[in-house]
Amino acid sequence: MTGLNDELTIHRREERLIARVIDGEAIIVDFKTGDHYSLNQIGTLVWEMADGQHSFQDIVASILERYDISEAQARADLSKLVSDMENENLVVLGEAPISS
């Protein structure tokens, strides 16, 4: 996936996932498949912001506030991470925030 639209929102697939943050790192279990995932600090930040209310650009801005990284690198890394998470069915991309 190359360059996500800044306005796309990222939504967790919470209906089938159990996630906990321990010592700043998220542990995610897909209780339907038994697969489990461990996210580093940046991955955990993305996971926590993947609530359907934050855009891709919001998440890039948050990464830039916390880490010494160029915007181009943050965008490239975030695009790759979101693509990987989408391929694993952890998140789904949306055009606008979803209401609960």
Contacts of 55 (CB under 8 A, 6+ apart): 6, 7, 8, 9
The domains located in the chain, with CATH, are 9-94 (3.90.930.60)
Q: Rounded to two decimals, what is the model's pTM?
A: 0.83
Residues of the chain with pLDDT under 70: 1-4, 96-100
| Residue 84 DSSP SS3 | helix
pLDDT reported for residue 100: 43
DSSP string, 48-78: HHTEEEEEHHHHHHHHHHHS---HHHHHHHH
pLDDT at 3: 53
